[in-house]
Every structure is written in structure tokens, then in C-alpha cells.
Structure 1
Amino acid sequence: MDNTEYKRNITVQYCFPDNNASCRKEVRTGPAYIFLFIIILCISVCTVFLNLLVIISISHFKQLHTPTNLLILSLAVADLLVGLIVMPVNIMQLMDSCWYLGKIACSVIPLISFLAMLASVYSLVLIAVDRYIAVFDPLLYHTRVTVSKMSICVILSWSFCLLYNSMILYFNDSLTPAQLYTSCYGECILIVKHSCIVVDFVVSFITPCCLILVLYSLIFRVARHQAKAVRAVINSTSYKNGAKISGSSQTKAAKKLGTVIFVYLACFIPYNLGSLSEESLTTASTVWTVFNWLLYINSFVNPLLYSVFYSWFRASVKYIVICRIFELSSSRFSLHSEHS
């Protein structure tokens, strides 16, 4: 793109023309920018829609009131916040680089953003722990893991995420409007200190990443041993077709686990490693924007990975779409679900 085309696609104006201290804004136009905005807007809408379907399904149908689905519900709520608040705000800033929501929102939105992302990550950790217990102690799983116990775990997880992010923003001098750096009216830039980046790298990435990888590797190992034992029994009774089915189920389970791990790492590694390579990182930088959107896309993919794979989700979506959930007995509909 030459200079003439660049100047034509970015028109410099002012965020608040009536204010002498107003920031200059860059209105991004042209086919490339319009296509980009359409794509990320569709991602935002789909993120909200998919996670709402998950929330409505688990909340409405009593058959889905299980400890595992409660964790999926927690994950969906966190991802809904990303699609409903965080993504639209970032799209607004990408369109003309101005902040129209005021200083209070400039300090609150980052808190909501960090809370949603961290709650999403630790919901993934709790799901891994839940699956680990289910695989290693299946006979006592239903007595050791109950809805009430899991509810307490979810509340504690969200409380920790809120407290941690509040402390990070406080020590980063970004929690109150008076502490925010602004050079003109209509600007919202969060400067993240390198010390806060290092701490956040450990708490938000290294710790949950290690837990998820270790737990899923143990789950996969036990599942593989169980599949071998089943195949041995089937082969000894000459049911070869059954052996093929068992092997096929194991292959599908391995693919699901591999997909979960790959998507999580693909979305979180660039942001965390990229943040460590800078002495300080600002929300106005292009690198920050790209890495942040990788994290946001994870909130779009999560409901696909953890819900679309399950038969109960497809059945519940059908009832929601045809509006059968408004029937009096709809909460007791059988969804023929697999809760594992």
C-alpha cells in the first residue's frame, strides 16, 4: 500500500470536536478494514450466541444439572463476558482509536477483561481436575464430587480471579481513573509494568498450563490402559468387532483431548511470551491488539470444544430454537446426554 492509498484509508479527525483537549482519531476506512471489522464483529456475535446457548441449556434442563456441566456453565459465563463486553469495546477502539466511555469505564473494562480471561482459564483447570477424578476414581466420583461442592469451587475460583486482578491493577496503578495515563481527552491507554507482566505470566499461564497438561496427560494414559484392558477382554471372548469399537472410541477421546490442549496453547502462548519480550506493553500497541484477539478467539472456540461435542448440547439447542423450552414441563425433557 503506497502513501496516497494509506492517507485515503485513514482520515485524521478529532474524538470530541467541541473540546480543545480532544485526541485526534484515525477513522479506518477502505475494503480491507471493512472486511476486518465484519469478521471480528461476527466472532463477537457468535461468541455471545454460542455461550448463551450453553448457559440457557445447562440452567434450564434439570438433566444437565451435574458437577461437570456446572464447570462448563462457569466457562460459558466467562466467555460470554468476553463476547458481550470486551470484544465490542475493542472493536470500537479499532474503528477510530477513540475512547468514548469515560475514565471510570477505562479502569473498569480492563478489570472485566482480565477477570473474564482468568476465570475462563481456571474453569478449564477445574474441568481437567473434574475429568481426572472421574477417570481415576469412577466408583466414588459421584460421592466425592457433588453439585454443591462444585458450586463452592466455582465461587472460590471467581473470587480468587477477582481479587487477583484487582491487586494486579492496583499495584500497576491502573485501578482508579486518577491513576490512568492520558495525554488528551478521549484516550484510554493501560501501561502494564514489567513486574506485573512477570507475575501474571506465572499466575495466568504457567500454573494453569502446567496443571492442564499434566492432568490431561494422566487422563490420556489411564484411558489408554483401560482401552487396552477392554480390548484384551474382548479379544479373549472373540468379539473382534467390539475391539474395533473400543479402539475407535479411544481414538476419538484422544483427538478431543489433543484439540483442547492445542487450541488453549495456540491462543495463550503468543500473548504471554510476547508480553515478556517487552519492557512495557501498552494497550495502544499493535502487538497487544493482535495477541489480545487471540485470547478472545479462545472464548469463541471454547463452547464449540466443550459443548458441541456433546449430544446433549445439540438436543437442547433444538428445543431452544423451536421454542419448546417455554412449555411447562420442558425442564424435565430427556436429552439423551452423555455427561462424561
Structure 2
Amino acid sequence: MTVQYCFPDNNLSCLKEVRTGTGNIFLFTLLSFISVCTVFLNLLVIISISHFKQLHTPTNLLILSLAVADFLVGLVVMPVNIMGMVDNCWYLGNMACIVVLVINNLSTAASLCSLTFIAVDRYIAVNDPLSYSTKITVCKTTVFIISGWFLSILYIFIFLYFNGNLLPSQIMIRCHGECVMYVKYPWMTVDLIVSFVTPSSVILILYSFIFNVARRQAIAMRSVMNSTSNRKVAKVSFTSETKAARTLGIVVCVYLVCWIPYYISSLSVENMSSFSLLWTVFGWLIYINSSMNPLIYAIFYPWFRASVKNILTCRILKS
């Protein structure tokens, strides 16, 4: 690693730490690949649900909202972080820094909001399937999605403003060529409650209810099938129960694994820059969650595989 200056003609320039070597090149290549995959997978989800009218259902609209948020992570957040890791310099000015900070925080907040709405949607579908179509409609779901994005934007603006990261006059930089978000310790606690504890609690509680309801339904169906000596159907019922439990376990585990380290570490220090090593590692865990979401919520659906086949073969261009 060679040390230079981000802006050699400026006496207040930050140090430029150019990271070279085989290990760094491999790391940047891997992260770039993850970014491209995140954009590509989420773009497939967006095109699929937007293009095919048969997929315009409440649940799929929530998946679309999640895909849009994760698409922003792969398109903007990941490349910007990779650029910062290469030489630790910011060349685009304060206004661009503010825009990136807003998109960074908004995409993760909207992604969490969409995950929570999906949990609520699945709970109602499993707990009250007969009245689900009347309670959850496309119009109501659209209103919830718009409201969720609006509240996410409002919270992010308040969060950035009171931590001195929203206005150019507020930004405190140690040197020229730096784009760093500082968070005051009291706001770390607030953000922990709003952005992690609350949605995590909702998701865990609802998915536990979903699992219990699905298990009771599977047991009831299995007892009925056993009474009619239909062993084959009972076996299918048991397989469905196991598959549902495994899918819900993957959803919850990936979510918690990606988010818990970030918020636990945020309480251990008063200020952490966005370029510190620990913050970078835990931040990328959250970004990787955006790569996993389309795999969990979309790729295992048959309609997604069928729509991807139509997209990749350009059949969607036909009337």
C-alpha cells in the first residue's frame, strides 16, 4: 500500500491509501461480482413483476418493492463503497456525498420495511386464508408500499439532519476528499430500536405464528389422510411442512446474521467512519442481504423461473 494525496494541489487534502496486491485485487473483484449479481437478480425480479400482468398480486408487489430497494444497493451503494475501499478518497464533492448517504440509508430502510410488510402479508394469508383476498388487495398493498417508502425517506432525512450529515454546511470533514457519516451515540440507540429491534421483533413473531399455523394445518391434514389410509398424500403433506419450515428458517437466519453484527458494533463506539475496517465488514454483510433477498423470495418461485426464461430468450418482446 502506497501513501499519496487525494488532491495533491490542495494542502488540506486527505491521504490517498492505494491498496494494491493480489489479495486486494481479489477482494475488489469479488465485491464487484456481488454488486453485478445484486443488480442483475433484482432487475430480473423488477422486470418480471412489472411486465407480466398475471404477477400483479399483493405479495408480488411487496417483493417488487423489496427488489427496487435492493437494486439501489447493488447499483449505487456497493460501487461507491468499492471505490472508497480502493484508495480511500472521495472525488465527487459534498453534494454527491449527501446524495449517496441518503440513497445508502434509504435503500436499507426501505428493504427492511418491505421485509416487514412481506411477513405481515404472509401471516394474514396463512392465518386467515378465506378472507385474505378481501383484506389484502392490490390497491391497499400499493398504498402501504408508498407509505413505507415515504416514512423511510422521512426517517432518513431526520436521522441525517440531526447527525449533521444532510446539509453541505453541516458536514464536518477532517480533510478534503472525505465522505464520512458520523452518528451521535444517542441516535445509534434510536436507530437500533427503529431500524432493527422493531422490524426484527415483528418479523420473528409473525414468522413464528406462520410456522405454528402451518404445522397445525399439516398435522390436521396428515391425521385426515391417515384415517383414509392415503399414505402418499400424507407424505406430501409432511414434505410441505418440512419445506415451509426450512424456507422460513432461511429467511429469518439470513436476516439476523446480516444485521445483528452491524447494530451490536454500533453500540460499542461513539463514532465510526464509513471507511473503518469493522464498519466496512459489517456494512457489507447488510449489502449482501440485498443479494440474498431475490434468491430467497423470488428464485424459488416457479413463476420467477418461467418469467426469467421469457426475459433471457427475449420472448417478452413479442406481442
TM-score, normalised on structure 1?
A: 0.93
Q: CA deviation at 1:284?
A: 2.7
> Of 295, 300, 305, which residue of structure 1 is paired with 2:296?
305
What is the distance in 2 between the residues matched to 1:265 and 1:299?
Answer: 13
Residue aligned with 1:25, SS: strand
What are the Cα deviations for residues 173-199 of structure 1, in whole angstroms up to 9, with x where unaligned?
A: 111112112122211122111111100
Residue aligned with 1:233, SS: helix
Matched, 1:169 2:160: yes
Indicate conservation of the 8 Å contact 2:31/2:82, yes or no: yes
Correspondence 1:1-340 to 2 at 5 A: 10-328=1-319
Q: CA deviation at 1:224?
A: 0.3
Indicate conservation of the 8 Å contact 2:85/2:275, yes or no: no
Residue aligned with 1:176, SS: coil
Q: CA deviation at 1:55?
A: 0.0
Structure 1: gaps spanning 5 or more residues = 1-9, 329-340
What are the Cα deviations for residues 276-298 of structure 1, in whole angstroms up to 9, with x where unaligned?
A: 11122221321111110000000
What are the Cα deviations for residues 187-233 of structure 1, in whole angstroms up to 9, with x where unaligned?
A: 11221111111000000000000000000000000000000010011
TM-score, normalised on structure 2?
A: 0.99
Q: CA deviation at 1:21?
A: 2.8
Indicate conservation of the 8 Å contact 2:17/2:87, yes or no: yes
Seq. identity, %: 61
Aligned residues: 319
What is the distance in 2 between the residues matched to 1:179 and 1:282?
Answer: 16
What is the distance in 2 between the residues matched to 1:218 and 1:87?
Answer: 35
Indicate conservation of the 8 Å contact 1:106/1:177, yes or no: no
Structure 2: gaps spanning 5 or more residues = none
Indicate conservation of the 8 Å contact 2:164/2:172, yes or no: no
What is the distance in 2 between the residues matched to 1:112 and 1:27?
Answer: 26
Counterpart residue identity of residue 233, structure 1: V
Counterpart residue identity of residue 122, structure 1: C
Residue aligned with 2:169, SS: helix
Indicate conservation of the 8 Å contact 1:193/1:281, yes or no: no
Residue aligned with 1:279, SS: coil
What are the Cα deviations for residues 246-304 of structure 1, in whole angstroms up to 9, with x where unaligned?
A: 00011001000000000000000000111011122221321111110000000000000
What is the distance in 2 between the residues matched to 1:118 and 1:151?
Answer: 18
Counterpart residue identity of residue 89, structure 1: V
